[in-house]
Structure 1
């Protein structure tokens, strides 16, 4: 396929210094037993969180690149998350950040872990993502498109690197390098290895690969093996989000890999209460702890007030999308890709807190505090 951005020779040469051979498949996948996963989950408080990207970042690259990484803002926003009653956040990383500067990138990730820990919050880190723009590029990121939901979010790895055999070594070292650095750090909750790996990103039909699903289906099991090779104390997961999950005859190949490989089962649901509860029941066959790593779409009747009580009753972790209204503009709904909004929608689609840090809907924060037993701070 036509490549928009080629790997710069100095970058690839620098990364090559840390490269190690990519391991072949192993017969023993090292997956946690259901009993071990259950014991791990019993040791956790009820996990209630949000998907988090700093309000001044348009995507994963802008959040973590050296010129735009803003620990002061992250500290302020995670403090607000804690005050809202949250005890975990889901944070997205990117392979190009590792390629750019492995040492500096790990230092910045560690800084986020330090900040989160001070506020009693444990991050669930996402390593790869198949959503939105297939052609990520390092450097200054473009401004958000006016009135459009998550208009500059980027895939990881990008389309041009999915079948690059040489770049696979970079991906391997990224996974192994990040997990090795933090494999014993109990301040981290876990590793979400690939967000929506079978998302076709239809909004980018001109640049999305036609063979993406086949390439991801080949790569995803390898990512699980690379992660397990580090001996991390944290559970691994990758969340199912579409199609049928409960019937092995009907589920997709990639969903099957996710369900067969994950230590704890994660899923996404923006359904109304009845549909959401049914999705939980559909995953009961796994016998493993469940984490809903994405929910909340107010205009679809998927709200804090009607979903969070279900997750508490069913003992399921829950992460709203997202924490603060910022440059990702996820308060606009998905249909803004087809028809950009001239004004902010009412209600907002996503996001718990406004730009000033005040709750968008105080009743939502009250619900979180009441259900978690974390009283309003004085």
Structure 2
């Protein structure tokens, strides 16, 4: 009996991630094996133009969040990807933590375990606290803001001032089983397609610097939840130095794709070589061929953690496509670019909702 008991003990050790270290593939897969198929959406309430407006005390809207996460529960969603922001921490860290706790309480009520995102390189590089602008009519994500802004990102010393934010949030929640994972930096090497005057030659090295620091800070906090940062551009089979760092440092593989099924399959196959759980934390852009009908059954078959972009049509206006920054729209596009529900909870496409429920087993 000694040998079997020893093997059982060894197997238990393999399944336990070592605090402060990157999870091994065995530890990551042991974690994934315990999970149901994880499915959800990127989430900001309809009443918020951005993640900053979502989390500021004056505009935090728990009643609306409760309503909308109820709609998520009705689909069988069991996770949501939720962006944080460094400014609410800087202006009121204790209040910010309380609001995150409130959000987690609401999510738990609806059987949802969120994944929180710390930093984001997309959209406006000059975030300001306080009242946020009203949406520009018919423009996709017209008020979304980067975290941190360029003023901080370009300065290594100011970057270091973000450490208490990352360590503080993770330390507070590091043993909270209601949190699924931490996504440390969204698309750090995104230059925003020329929508803002950003120089990739200046931005990308500073973003990589902050990305590396953030992984170090997050590991220092010793979370029990996995860490990741998602790749989104280029040849996934031959990643550049930026993507290679993300892939080789994450506990679980995280990627974005707004592509039809065949290209999506290519990307998933390319990522299997890391022998870690795979998460697609952004997909679904109807005109691009990335639809629920096209890719979601494949994701379930492969047990890819799946989070589509957009949930409820609201102030973020992501029913409009990316080109709405340059092309004028005067009314609701056909089809919608992102999002599942109208503001009143009516599904945009009933057949999509039926498909999702059939895959999740929701009644």
TM-score if structure 2 supplies the norm length? 0.93
Equivalent residues of 2:20, 2:222 under 8 A apart: no
Q: Does structure 1 residue 317 correspond to structure 2 residue 305?
A: yes
Please give the per-residue CA displacement for 1:5-38, whole angstroms capped at 9, x wherever unaligned: xxxxxxxxxxxxxxxxxxxxxxx97100000000
Q: Distance in 1 between matches of 2:61 and 2:161?
A: 26
Determine helix, strand or coil for the equivalent of 1:81. Answer: helix
Determine helix, strand or coil for the equivalent of 1:326. Answer: coil
Determine helix, strand or coil for the equivalent of 1:318. Answer: strand
Q: Distance in 2 between matches of 1:137 and 1:207?
A: 18
Please give the per-residue CA displacement for 1:291-343, whole angstroms capped at 9, x wherever unaligned: 10001011112111111001011110111111111000000011111113111
Please give the per-residue CA displacement for 1:239-296, whole angstroms capped at 9, x wherever unaligned: 000002222xxx2222111101100001001101111111111101110000100010
- The alpha carbon displacement at 1:208 in A equals 5.4
More helix by share: 2
Task: Pick one of 30, 33, 55 that aligns with 2:46.
Answer: 55
Equivalent residues of 1:134, 1:204 under 8 A apart: no
Q: Distance in 2 between matches of 1:184 and 1:276?
A: 34
- The alpha carbon displacement at 1:372 in A equals 1.4
Equivalent residues of 1:236, 1:264 under 8 A apart: yes
Determine helix, strand or coil for the equivalent of 2:107. Answer: helix
Q: Distance in 2 between matches of 1:123 and 1:233?
A: 14
Task: Pick one of 340, 343, 347 that aligns with 2:335.
Answer: 347
Q: Distance in 2 between matches of 1:143 and 1:252?
A: 38
Q: Distance in 2 between matches of 1:301 and 1:202?
A: 20
Please give the per-residue CA displacement for 1:166-209, whole angstroms capped at 9, x wherever unaligned: 42233101100000010000000000000001001233442556
TM-score if structure 1 supplies the norm length? 0.89
- The alpha carbon displacement at 1:80 in A equals 0.7
Please give the per-residue CA displacement for 1:64-110, whole angstroms capped at 9, x wherever unaligned: 10100010000000011101221110000011111011000011011
Q: Does structure 1 residue 45 correspond to structure 2 residue 36?
A: yes
Equivalent residues of 1:221, 1:261 under 8 A apart: no
Task: Pick one of 144, 150, 154 that aligns with 1:163.
Answer: 154
Equivalent residues of 2:195, 2:325 under 8 A apart: no
Equivalent residues of 2:154, 2:203 under 8 A apart: no
Partner of 2:241: 253
Q: Does structure 1 residue 278 correspond to structure 2 residue 266?
A: yes
Partner of 1:291: 279
Gaps of 5+ in 2: 1-18
Q: 1:205 to 1:323 in 2, by over 3 A?
A: closer
- The alpha carbon displacement at 1:221 in A equals 1.2
Task: Pick one of 207, 214, 218 that aligns with 1:223.
Answer: 214
Q: Distance in 2 between matches of 1:266 and 1:193?
A: 11
- The alpha carbon displacement at 1:210 in A equals 4.4
Q: Which moved more, 1:215-224 or 1:285-294?
A: 215-224
Partner of 2:58: 67
Equivalent residues of 1:159, 1:208 under 8 A apart: no
Q: Distance in 1 between matches of 2:281 and 2:133?
A: 27
Task: Pick one of 347, 353, 356 that aligns with 2:344.
Answer: 356
Consecutive aligned runs of 4 or more in structure 1 exceeding 4 Å deviation: 207-210
Partner of 1:5: none
Q: Does structure 1 residue 213 correspond to structure 2 residue 204?
A: yes
Determine helix, strand or coil for the equivalent of 1:211. Answer: helix
The count of aligned residue pairs is 345
- In the TM superposition, 1:127-146 aligns within 5 A as 127-146=118-137
Let me know the Cα RMSD of the aligned residues: 1.3
Partner of 1:116: 107
Q: Distance in 1 between matches of 2:106 and 2:146?
A: 26
Equivalent residues of 2:75, 2:360 under 8 A apart: no
Q: Does structure 1 residue 198 correspond to structure 2 residue 189?
A: yes
Gaps of 5+ in 1: 1-27
